[in-house]
Amino acid sequence: MDRFQHYIDGRFEDAAEGFDSLDPATGTAWARMPAASADDVCRAVDAADRAFAGWAGTTATARGKLLYRLADLVAEAAPRLAALETRDTGKIIRETTAQIAYVAEYYRYYAGLADKIEGAHLPIDKPDMEVWLRREPVGVVAAVVPWNSQLFLSAVKLGPALAAGCTVVLKASEDGPAPLLDFARLVYQAGFPPGVVNILTGGPEAGHALTTHPKIAHIAFTGGPETARHIVRSSAENLAKVSLELGGKSPFIVFDDADLESAANAQVAGIFAATGQSCVAGSRLLVQRGVKDDFLARLKTKAEAVTIGAPGAMETEVGPLCTARQRERIDRIVAESVAAGARLVTGGRVPDGPGFYYPPTILDCSDTPNAASVTEELFGPVLSVVAFETEEEALRLANDTAYGLASGVFTRSLTLAHRMIRGIRAGVVWVNTYRAVSPIAPFGGHGLSGHGREGGLAAALDYTAVKTVWLRTSDDPIPDPFVMR
């Protein structure tokens, strides 16, 4: 089997313990991964802490040049990284190839932004004072990412943190960490000083040791709400700043005046791409009743025409789920929803054969809007459909969730679109499109979808702290030391 190593303080090293990583397409072990102990985590944090002063003192221009170098290396290594991600997570090669090529653009964006993180001069109300604000890096960052889209979800943390002058300990998910452990080679080749970036993987012990470490100043987490709750509780130990990018149960709203063919294509991409394993998956279709039957017929045809197969084949459109436990949970919730009255339009049956496959599945839940498939994030290729009559009902249904990450609106009416944009409680609203991203545009949510933003200038500022500087310009003695000036 292939063997992977941790990257700590500029060195590649084995761990005392390890675990096998399974190929989701076959269910068989293909690689041996290192499992970080609490000791390993402490060494990584200590290395990041030692490196912090030097890295923060490096000019912003120099930091930017290293990020540009990293971007070029990511672009060059995209085929290898894509193949590793496909092998270790089951994500189809056509998606990993395109996504990783675009990840390089995130590093380029933050490379260019590094020397544009500015302070400010304050027009203070005291004539003998000059007052200005400095933006300084917060310190050591703990970045914790899930297995899905891990290179992308790392870039939106590493890019702004490194540009701001922070050092980072990145914990990859124990489910499919190969691409990030291999990415460490690029960090090394780019020439980042030892300790500036450290990459390891492991289970709950490693995660707890990292998020509770007293030298951690900022925790950037992407994952599920339950793990986020543990992280928030852990942060009480070090009072670290916490940013959370969590899951979603995103509404995909189709009005009767929409271009139905375009909307159907976007909906298929929004729920079945990445086998539904995306935090912004459009898993709740809200469709106006007058076009429901037509729209469902289009979706059924498209879902049943999807090519399911080996994730490494370029013709495959839907691959396996990442883990067996995911598939078991999805299959159970689909069965419960059907038992509660949801109508199975297509899919919904675990196929025979090896691997963790599950077919594109559509459930008509118009008569059971509180079915589990409608309310719970499944993280799989399952679409729950609920019909609505009026704009007001569509908005009520869209906001009837504890999540608030993403949403989609399909209509030809500009005024209707603007009303929906104002009314939907979500961090992202796509209108007549879905799943579009850019390093320039921030994303994030609220409620069970977390808080904070990733991408854009806002993310870089999030890794800084403001220092206020007061400079007295008068040469006269301070007249009265007991009077505040």
Q: Are residues 213 and 265 in the same domain?
A: no
pLDDT of residue 32: 98
Instruction: Check: CB of residue 384 under 8 Å from CB of residue 284.
Output: yes
Instruction: Check: CB of residue 90 under 8 Å from CB of residue 322.
Output: yes
| pTM for the predicted model, two decimal places | 0.95
Cα separation, 248 vs 267, whole angstroms: 16
| Tally of structural domains, the chain | 2
Can you read off the two tokens belonging to residue 264?
């159907």
pLDDT of residue 361: 98
Phi, psi for 299 (deg, rounded to 5)? -65, -40
Residue 20: which of 209, 144, 177, 149 has the closest Cα? 177
Radius of gyration over alpha carbons of the chain, in Å? 24
pLDDT of residue 480: 87
Has residue 478 been placed in a domain?
no
Has residue 476 been placed in a domain?
no
- The pLDDT of 97-106, averaged and rounded, is 95
Phi, psi for 363 (deg, rounded to 5)? -120, 125
CATH number at residue 263: 3.40.309.10
Q: Are residues 193 and 333 in the same domain?
A: no
Q: Are residues 61 and 195 in the same domain?
A: yes
Condensed to tens digits (0 to 9), the pLDDT of residues 248-282 reads 999 999 999 999 999 999 999 999 999 999 999 99
Provide the pairing of β-strand 140-144 with 167-172: parallel
- Residue 16: is its pLDDT beyond 90? yes
Has residue 191 been placed in a domain?
yes
CATH number at residue 19: 3.40.605.10
Cα separation, 259 vs 277, whole angstroms: 26
- The pLDDT of 338-345, averaged and rounded, is 97
- Residue 485: is its pLDDT beyond 80? no
Condensed to tens digits (0 to 9), the pLDDT of residues 230-255 reads 999 999 999 999 999 999 999 999 99
- Residue 155: is its pLDDT beyond 80? yes
Instruction: Check: CB of residue 266 under 8 Å from CB of residue 408.
Output: yes
Condensed to tens digits (0 to 9), the pLDDT of residues 159-193 reads 999 999 999 999 999 999 999 999 999 999 999 99
Q: Are residues 340 and 407 in the same domain?
A: yes
Q: Are residues 209 and 296 in the same domain?
A: no
Has residue 437 been placed in a domain?
no
Q: Are residues 128 and 68 in the same domain?
A: yes
Which of 95, 166, 279, 322 is catalytic? The answer is 279
Residue-number span of the structural domain to which 92 is assigned: 2-246+445-469
Q: Are residues 209 and 256 in the same domain?
A: no
Has residue 484 been placed in a domain?
no
Percent of the chain beyond pLDDT 70?
A: 100
- Residue 482: is its pLDDT beyond 80? yes
Has residue 156 been placed in a domain?
yes
Residue 321: which of 148, 97, 182 has the closest Cα? 148
- Estimate to the nearest angstrom the gap between the alpha carbon of 226 and the chain centroid: 16
Q: Which helix (H) or strand (E) holds 231?
A: helix 225-234
User: Is position 322 annotated as part of the catalytic site?
Assistant: no
Q: How many CB atoms lie within 10 A of CB 303?
A: 23
Percent of the chain beyond pLDDT 90?
A: 98
- Residue 320: is its pLDDT beyond 80? yes
Q: Are residues 232 and 268 in the same domain?
A: no
CB neighbour list of residue 241: distance below 8 Å, 6 or more residues apart: 138, 217, 218, 219
Residue 463: which of 92, 159, 151, 247 has the closest Cα? 159
Provide the pairing of β-strand 450-451 with 241-245: antiparallel
Residues in the chain: 485
Burial class of residue 435 (count of CB atoms within 10 Å of its CB; 0-12, 13-18, 19+)? middle
Q: Are residues 195 and 217 in the same domain?
A: yes
Can you read off the two tokens belonging to residue 380?
């799989």
- Rama region for 342: left / alpha / beta (φ>0; ψ in -120 to 50; rest): beta
pLDDT of residue 259: 98
- Estimate to the nearest angstrom the gap between the alpha carbon of 459 and the chain centroid: 13
Instruction: Check: CB of residue 228 under 8 Å from CB of residue 157.
Output: no
pLDDT of residue 1: 84
Higher pLDDT, residue 483 or 413: 413
Cα separation, 92 vs 458, whole angstroms: 31
- Residue 415: is its pLDDT beyond 90? yes
Q: Residue 126: pLDDT band by 50, 70, 90 thresholds?
A: very high
- Rama region for 369: left / alpha / beta (φ>0; ψ in -120 to 50; rest): alpha
Cα separation, 166 vs 330, whole angstroms: 39
3-state secondary structure 266-315: HHHHHHHHHHHCCCCCCCEEEEEHHHHHHHHHHHHHHHHCCCECCCCCCC
Can you read off the two tokens belonging to residue 176?
């499919």
Condensed to tens digits (0 to 9), the pLDDT of residues 156-167 reads 999 999 999 999
pLDDT of residue 150: 94
Average pLDDT, the chain: 96
Q: Are residues 200 and 311 in the same domain?
A: no
Burial class of residue 355 (count of CB atoms within 10 Å of its CB; 0-12, 13-18, 19+)? buried
- Residue 484: is its pLDDT beyond 80? no
Has residue 485 been placed in a domain?
no
- The pLDDT of 28-50, averaged and rounded, is 98
Which of 95, 174, 245, 377 is catalytic? The answer is 245
Has residue 402 been placed in a domain?
yes
Instruction: Check: CB of residue 128 under 8 Å from CB of residue 474.
Output: yes
Residue that the structure tokens 């594109």 belong to: 360
Condensed to tens digits (0 to 9), the pLDDT of residues 202-225 reads 999 999 999 999 999 999 999 999
DSSP one-letter string for 239-270:
T-EEEEE-----EEEE-TTS-HHHHHHHHHHH
Q: Are residues 359 and 314 in the same domain?
A: yes
pLDDT of residue 479: 86
Q: Are residues 148 and 117 in the same domain?
A: yes
Q: Which helix (H) or strand (E) holds 448?
A: none
